[in-house]
Amino acid sequence: MKIAIVVGHNAKAPGAYAPTPIGLSEYDFNNLVADEMIRLSKGTVMGRLGGARPLELFKVHRALSSSYSTEIDAAYDQVTRGGADASLELHFNAAHPGATGSETLSSGGPKSLSLSGHLQRAMVKALARPDRGIKVLGPTDRGGRSLHAARATAALVEPFFSTNSVDLVAAQRVGIKGFARMYLEGLSGYAGFEREALPTGREINARNGFGTMHLETESLGRQEFFARNHALLAMAVENINKIQEERAHGEFFVPLTLVDAFSLMNAEMGMKGGQVDPGFVHHERGIGLVPLPSNLVYWNGDDAPLDHSRLTTEQNITEFLLYLSAIKNKPVGRPFAWGEFYTDLFRDPSTTGDVPGQMHLLAAVVNGWFVPQLYASPPDFATIAAKTAQAHLDPEPILRELAAAGFRGGPGTGRDDLRARLAHLNAMIALADPSLALESVRPPEAKPVKPAAPPVEPPVTGGAPVVAEKFRTTVTGFAG
């Protein structure tokens, strides 16, 4: 596997400066690390890195240019021309003295997320500083251009903060050689992972709500898919509720309903020629029947798969349902009028036991309706919630409310898209729970609707609210 090591910044504008005990700029420090990586990867001891696909490294420098974008584009042109399968851009961070820890920036694509995951784990292991996780950046985000400029799988590392004294001591302890080893370990893990076949049956079953049972997906329309797999999906929802109830350790627990599962899947699943498509490419959100948020680990736990493109349909749906269940049960620490997002949306007396209302609130979370940044001006979320919870009776009031508040979730979230989405959500209520059949629920519109596209930066729909939650305190810390 061929990997381009891009040294962040350039000789004339060398980036942040790490004071004593490092005493080097980003450019100088990482140039030494890159050289050491190349030396070690050629050495006899580490020559077999990457196993059957040995790592072949080459170094790329950025040259000061008239504009930032031409500087990045020229460097990544070298990445492409060098035939790299993947690129790693080396940096370190700078912010205020309290900011600390390691983070990796990813384009959000499944391979980039996998690469980033391996690098992030290697950094946290070697430096033992706080794990700030993987940040997904769009092409226009600060620093995001490097991740989207070439076709090669890209990652950008920010191993420590040069403005934090404890981070500096850790960086000094690891040393240039240690940094080189740490990145090679991450790259090698990624190269090995890429080689691996699908997980074994045992690994699948450990995280699979369907056990050894298989869903039917071949040549099925929407209704047919849910009708044929009704019993299996019900079993999976039941298993997922058991997992979450155990995780709740006796604290509150709001179960996922079959209506939640059917309706959300129906609104989000990939379709091709009127049939469900288990190989659907969900833009930046992986491959599979339903899209998974890029920060799946935040919601589903550390054992969640990093690479979303290699899951079986059963795993893909299991992770999706776990994610939905986590939204109902995991407080994200953001207060609103009634309590805390998102859990208290589902524990409010007005929605407890209101199955279709809860389903619409859940879909609203996934679609970013409770993220203030997605509005022209922050709306009254109590009103949004109240009208959302009535969307199975009449979708128009919430659609009017969203339009009035200037909801701008990005492509695929215009008023007609949202109306179609609500129709898809409503279409499966009665099928999932016949006791909830309602006259006002209309069948889905005839025209095919693609699942809602990413709301805004970071460009991830299922995960958009989520990314905003998890990273809202860290976005300013990136030194570029």
- Residues within the interface to Zn ion (CB under 5 A): 8, 15, 26, 91, 479
- State in angstroms the smallest separation of the CB of 480 from Zn ion: 5
Exposure of 245 by Cβ count < 10 A (0-12 exposed, 13-18 middle, 19+ buried)?
middle
Q: Which two tokens stand for residue 418?
A: 């949202």
Distances (CA, A) of 453 to 23, 215, 267, 396, 421: 45, 26, 12, 21, 12
- Phi, psi values for residue 91, rounded to 5°: -140, 180
User: How many helices (H) and strands (E) in the chain?
Assistant: 18, 12
Decide whether 18 or 150 has the Cβ nearer to Zn ion. 18
Between strands 131-136 and 102-106, the pairing is parallel
- State in angstroms the smallest separation of the CB of 43 from Zn ion: 28
- State in angstroms the smallest separation of the CB of 142 from Zn ion: 10
Decide whether 15 or 255 has the Cβ nearer to Zn ion. 15
Q: Which two tokens stand for residue 372?
A: 């203030």
Decide whether 29 or 225 has the Cβ nearer to Zn ion. 29
Distances (CA, A) of 232 to 226, 262, 361: 10, 12, 25
H or E element in which residue 410 lies? none
Q: Are 312 and 290 in contact (CB under 8 A)?
A: no
Decide whether 8 or 305 has the Cβ nearer to Zn ion. 8
- State in angstroms the smallest separation of the CB of 479 from Zn ion: 5
Q: Are 177 and 35 in contact (CB under 8 A)?
A: no
Q: Which residue is nearest to Zn ion (CB)?
A: 91
- State in angstroms the smallest separation of the CB of 275 from Zn ion: 47
Decide whether 62 or 91 has the Cβ nearer to Zn ion. 91
For 250-385, strand residue ranges (E) read 271-272, 275-276, 334-336, 339-341
- State in angstroms the smallest separation of the CB of 136 from Zn ion: 18
Decide whether 153 or 162 has the Cβ nearer to Zn ion. 162
Q: How many CB atoms lie within 10 A of CB 58?
A: 15
Cα 108 from Cα 458, distance rounded (Å):
9
- State in angstroms the smallest separation of the CB of 190 from Zn ion: 22
Q: Are 103 and 109 in contact (CB under 8 A)?
A: no
Q: Which two tokens stand for residue 82?
A: 């060098």
Cα 85 from Cα 248, distance rounded (Å):
42
Q: Are 384 and 401 in contact (CB under 8 A)?
A: yes
Cα 259 from Cα 49, distance rounded (Å):
48
- State in angstroms the smallest separation of the CB of 17 from Zn ion: 11
Decide whether 61 or 334 has the Cβ nearer to Zn ion. 61
- State in angstroms the smallest separation of the CB of 39 from Zn ion: 23
CA atoms 137, 140, 144, 150: torsion sign: positive
- State in angstroms the smallest separation of the CB of 127 from Zn ion: 17
Say how far residue 254 (Cα) sits from the centre of its chain: 24
Cα 323 from Cα 208, distance rounded (Å):
13
For 239-299, strand residue ranges (E) read 271-272, 275-276
Q: How many CB atoms lie within 10 A of CB 317?
A: 28
Cα 121 from Cα 469, distance rounded (Å):
22
Decide whether 109 or 143 has the Cβ nearer to Zn ion. 143
Decide whether 89 or 348 has the Cβ nearer to Zn ion. 89
Decide whether 91 or 148 has the Cβ nearer to Zn ion. 91
Determine the residue type at 1: M
Decide whether 9 or 424 has the Cβ nearer to Zn ion. 9
